[in-house]
Structures are given as C-alpha cells and as structure tokens.
Chain A
Amino acid sequence: MRALIAAAVGAVVAVLMAFVAVPLADQNGPTTAKPLLTSAPAHP
C-alpha cells in the first residue's frame, strides 16, 4: 500500500512538472527550433 502511494506521488509530481514546464518555456527559448527559408525567387 505504501509503495502504491509512493508511486502515485511520483506520478503526480511528474505530471505537475510537465504542466508547469509548458508555460515556463518561452516561445523564443532554447527549446524552439529555428526554421530556414530557401528558394522562392522573385521576378527579375
């Protein structure tokens, strides 16, 4: 029983951490990926 409670506590902490991480991550932070553009040549 105590083991089940311990597992539940661990799981809940993990879920809370995941939920908190999203708003904390700045949209321009290190977890974003930079896109790159390529050719779309204009009319000369």
Chain B
Amino acid sequence: MRQRLSLVLVALAAFLAVLGVMLRVWVYPHVVAVPDNQYQAVVLEAKDATLIDYSKMAGVPHQHVTIVETLKGDAGAAEAYQRRTGRSVVVWDALSYVLGNDGKRLSAIPEVYPFDAHTQEPVHCCGENVDGQALSRVGIEYKFPFDTQPHDYQYFDPQTRTSAPIHYKGTTQLDGLTVYYFEQTIPWTRVPFPKAMPDGVAITPQQIDSLGYQRWYTTVRKFWVDPVTGAPINGEEVHNEQLRMPPSSGMAPVTIFSGDVKIRPDYQAATVALVKKERTLLLLLRDDLPTGLPLLGVAALALAFVVEGRARRRTAPPTLPVASVADADEHGGAGETATAKGAPAAPL
C-alpha cells in the first residue's frame, strides 16, 4: 500500500513539474491575448490650451479642450480574418473625438487598427486606415506588447501616418506599480487636415489646401506602461499644431492647438485598478504557477522517498545479532548470506 502511495507521489511530482514548465512555454504565449470584442473609452483634457478661432484666424488662449477616445473591437472582422488565415487578430475601430469649451465638436478622426492578438505585430487587413486614408502600419499603437521590455519600440503616429522610435527612458513607480516610462518626440511635420472640420466651420479641407494653407504638427508623447500587460496606465502629450501659409505670403503661422493633454484623473484611477486586476492573472500564469508547481513537485518527490523508505524499513527482516554472524562465519561464511538479506532493496 505504501509503495503504491509512493508511486502516486512520483507521478504527481512529474505532473506538477512538467505542468509548470508547460504553462510558461506553451500555455502562456498561446492563451494570453487581447480580447477581440472589447469596448473602451478614455477622456483626456487639455486645460489652459490655445485653440484657433477660424472666424478670426487667430489662436485664442485659456481654452478647455476635451478629447474622448474610444476603441471598439470589431469581432466580426477579426473572426473572419482568423477563419481565412488561422491567425488571431484584433481589429480596433478607434475614434478621437475632440470637444471645445462649448461642447461642440472640433474634430473627429477615425482609425482602423488591425494587429496580432498575441504579439501585437501589425496586420494589414480589414480596411486598415487613419481618417479614411489606407496605409500599412509599422510598430505598435495605443498599447505595448505583453511582457514589455525596457527598450525602444517603433510607435505609429496617426497624425503623420508614419512610425518612429518611442524611447525607453527608465523605470519608475506609479500608483504602487513598477512601470516603464517611454517618450516619443515628433518634430514639426506637415500633416494632412482631418476630414471632419469643426462644427460651424463651412470650409472644407480641400478648400484650405487650395488656399495654400498647411497644417504642421509636433508632439512629445509620454507613456507610463505596466510591463506585464503592456497597458499604458498613464499618458500625456505636449501637443502643438500650426496653420502655416506659403512663405511667399509673409504671414506668420497661426496656432491651431497648443496644450498639455492628460488623462482625466478619474479615468486614470479606473485604468490603474483595471491593470492591477489583469496583471494578477498574467503573473499567475507567467511566473507564480510555473515557479510554484515545480517546487510542489519537488516536495511530492521528497515525500515519495520518505514513504518508500518507511515501507522498506517495515518490510525488511531483522538483522542477525553480531554474535550470531560471528558464529555463522565460523561455520563456512553463512553470515554473508544474512548480511545480504538485510541490505537495502533495489532503489525505486
């Protein structure tokens, strides 16, 4: 009975050790994925921003600008792509909706962003675009990969429609989490006018273009990223846009927008709470179980040895007294036989 128990413990030890390894090398990379049907909204604010008044063609300071960003996972498109190719993808329909002091729309830029659900590599399908312009992204956008590493990444900038490095600048603490700080600077670059102009502005982007006006943009983009989930738990942009006229006109640039855009504190707090919950699951699968299960396996194996040792001590016949052995030796070496009987049995 005890020997059977020790065999069960050996099997359990092997099971736990192998399961721990398999969780890390097989289950974790295959199971951890971005959901394809998620909906999220984040509200950002730029207090004391400067904003253009198109009727005066001048920048007006001390404006409060609100930006509502939404991400909606297009599950239908993602599943259709997976059926065709076997690859798990996520297709995000994103919208940046900008509101002024009066609550009226200043701008709305839609995006379609398809990417690999596990690795976050960009996938070129499903109508990928920014503001209706088809393109092929390079690098990441919105979210960093699971298990983010402390090095630079290529980050897609939707204004310039190009990718540039976002630099790892260090590790810090934020709301009780260890986070990586990344920063990207986009230098002054000419960018297209968005298709949706502010409410009440009759001029179209094509008409602005034909007048020779140009839209230029620069930003410093900052992210504080939880390395386990790759989720930015805070973000900020020091964002500037100008309306520039051809040099021959002699007219000075006009500020379209200038402000420090930050996540509203209530949304930031909700983000931190969500990340803390999600990272617990990931850490369990990535670190805790792969480490803990093999340790339990070692304990089970040690217990198996103990049980087996006790079983053998119980079943082993009593050793002959020394005197008897000596007597036996005198009678033709029979003591060797007695010693051999008392020797340990074959190992497990």
Contacts and interface: CB of A to CB of B under 8 A. Distances in A.
Nearest to A17: B19
Interface string B14-57: 11111100110011001111111110101010100001100000
Contacts of A18: 19, 22-23, 26-27
A10 B15 contact: yes
Contacts of B143: 35-37
Nearest to B233: A36
Nearest to B95: A42
A6 to B, nearest CB: 4
Interface in B199-248: 215, 217, 221, 223, 228-237, 239, 241
B14 A10 contact: yes
B91 to A, nearest CB: 13
Nearest to B82: A27
B274 interface: yes
A44 B11 contact: no
A7 B262 CA distance: 56
A21 B229 contact: no
A34 B122 CA distance: 18
Task: Sort chain B's interface into a size bin.
Answer: 35 or more
Contact of B231 (A22, A32, A34, A39): A34
A41 B22 contact: no
Interface stretch (B167-175, B279-287, B321-329): B279-287
Contact of A43 (B13, B30, B257): B257
A7 B274 CA distance: 41
B108 A32 contact: no
B239 A41 contact: yes
Contacts of A17: 19, 22
Nearest to A39: B235
Contacts of B217: 43
Contacts of A43: 98, 106-107, 109, 159, 193-194, 215, 217, 241, 256-257
What 7 A-B pairs are tightest by C-beta distance, nearest first?
A38-B235, A10-B14, A18-B22, A42-B96, A10-B15, A10-B11, A14-B18
19 contacts: A3-B6, A14-B19, A27-B88, A32-B32, A32-B35, A33-B228, A33-B229, A33-B231, A34-B34, A34-B278, A35-B40, A36-B42, A37-B42, A38-B69, A38-B234, A40-B141, A42-B98, A43-B194, A44-B107
Interface of B: 6-8, 10-19, 22-23, 26-27, 30-38, 40, 42, 44, 46, 51-52, 65, 67, 69, 71, 88, 94, 96-98, 100, 106-109, 117, 141-143, 146, 158-159, 193-194, 198, 215, 217, 221, 223, 228-237, 239, 241, 256-257, 261-263, 271, 274-275, 278-279, 281-282, 285, 304, 348
Given A18-B27, A35-B231, A44-B51, 8 more contacts: A14-B14, A15-B18, A33-B278, A40-B141, A41-B67, A43-B98, A43-B159, A44-B257
